[in-house]
């Protein structure tokens, strides 16, 4: 893939990640926020930020929602990211499990607040590592 195309692809992942984070923040601002939606969008944001980062690092990744697995792949070229793994992997269950009634566990406001904090931390970390081209 040409370098311009790679930069565009990375930016597209980050743009999608930012929209998910914005959706989570907007929803959490309501008095009657749908907390499952906040957590889902936080998970999606982190997943997309990490996938964009993997492309930036030149690492091929599988189709997965497993944030811990994606961070493990990132560790091949960035050992510092391991500091985020335990916290960020907490969001993995929000990708699918909370969306269906089978094993549903109610989400508390503190869970949604923690998910937002994690998503912002991942975004900040990745933005500090990626050289943004004009």
Residue 132 lies in a domain: no
- The CA-CA-CA angle for residues 91, 103, 26, to 5°, reads 40
**Separation between Cα atoms, residue 91 and residue 41, nearest integer Å:** 10
Q: How confident is the model at residue 4 (pLDDT cuts 50, 70, 90)?
A: confident
Residue 36 lies in a domain: yes
Of residues 133 and 89, the one with the higher pLDDT is 89
Residue 17 lies in a domain: yes
Residue 134 lies in a domain: no
Q: What is the CATH number of the domain that holds 91?
A: 1.20.120.330
pLDDT, the chain, mean: 92
Q: How confident is the model at residue 50 (pLDDT cuts 50, 70, 90)?
A: very high
Question: pLDDT value at position 134?
Answer: 38
- Parent domain of 69: 3-127
Residue 93 lies in a domain: yes
If you average pLDDT over residues 61-76, what whole number do you get?
96
| 73-115 tens-digit pLDDT | 999 999 999 999 999 999 999 987 776 777 677 899 999 999 9
pTM for this entry: 0.92
Name the domain count of the chain: 1
């Amino acid at each position: 893939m040409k370098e311009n195309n790679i930069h565009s692809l990375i930016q597209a992942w980050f743009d999608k990640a930012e929209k998910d984070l914005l959706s989570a923040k907007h929803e959490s601002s309501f008095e009657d926020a749908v907390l499952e939606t906040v957590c889902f969008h936080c998970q999606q944001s982190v997943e997309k930020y990490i996938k964009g980062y993997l492309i930036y690092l030149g690492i091929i990744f599988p189709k997965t929602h497993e944030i811990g697995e994606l961070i493990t792949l990132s560790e091949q070229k960035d050992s510092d990211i391991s500091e985020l793994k335990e916290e960020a992997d907490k969001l993995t269950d929000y990708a699918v499990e909370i969306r269906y009634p089978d094993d549903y566990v109610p989400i508390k406001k503190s869970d949604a607040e923690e998910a937002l904090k994690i998503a912002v931390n991942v975004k900040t970390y990745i933005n500090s590592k990626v050289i943004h081209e004009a």
